[in-house]
Amino acid sequence: MDFSPDAKRAFQLQSYGPARTIDGVALVPLTRHADDGGSLTELARLADGRAEGLADFVVRQINFSELAPGAIKAYHLHVRQTDVWYVPPGDRMLVVLLDVRHGSSTEGARMRFILGDGASRLLRIPPGVAHGVRNVGLQAGRIVYLTDFHFSAEPSSCDEGRLPWDFAGANVWEVTRG
């Protein structure tokens, strides 16, 4: 079969294999217990601030964030801090991770996936992995996240930096069509 020149230029094969991962990033499946009255998801069992399933991660702070429908919060970048994110199953958040750690075995790798959307999982984001989120749901979206450093707005001790929202291209935030 011969395609038109325009179709030949635009044609690409869709990949159905496993997506590339970033060293140190973990998606931890959680159990959601449901009954007639609702559900319960256990986010972490702590022993001395350490959560089961998240080796070497000590909880220092727990935060709650809300995003308006369509809002993009990106890119956050930490030098020392590890984030662990949880998006409730009823919300739908598009997450983009970029490994910007110079010399990392996965330097330059990008991960893009949906959190929430009926699933209960924790996402571990190590220092040096730029992370952002877009609420692709129709209602306000929520993130509960744990950190291993206390937040400080003081410039001398702040560990939160930023990269432009379109650092990996504006199209990375679009819902896949096709």
Lowest mean pLDDT among 6-10, 45-49, 72-76: 45-49
The residue extents of the domains of the chain are 23-150
The CATH architecture assigned to 23-150 reads Sandwich (2.60)
| pLDDT tens digits for range 57-84 | 899 889 999 999 999 999 999 999 999 9
Instruction: With cut-offs at 50, 70 and 90, classify the pLDDT of residue 12.
Output: confident
| Residues 140, 145, 21, 51, Cα dihedral to 10° | -150
* Structural contact between residues 93 and 135, judged by C-beta atoms closer than 8 angstroms: yes
- Picking from 19, 170, 169, the residue whose alpha carbon sits closest to that of residue 106 is 19
pLDDT score recorded for residue 178: 67
Task: State how far Cα 172 lies from the chain centre.
Answer: 13
Cβ-in-10-Å burial (0-12, 13-18, 19+) of 151 comes to middle
pLDDT mean across residues, the chain: 89
* pLDDT for 87: 97
CA dist., res. 146 & res. 167, Å (int): 25
> If phi over 0 gives left and psi between -120 and 50 gives alpha, with beta otherwise, what is residue 88?
beta
The larger pLDDT score, comparing residue 60 to residue 47, is at: 60
115 near 95, Cβ under 8 Å? yes
Q: Which of 148, 138, 146 is nearest to 116 (CA)?
A: 138
Prediction pTM value: 0.85
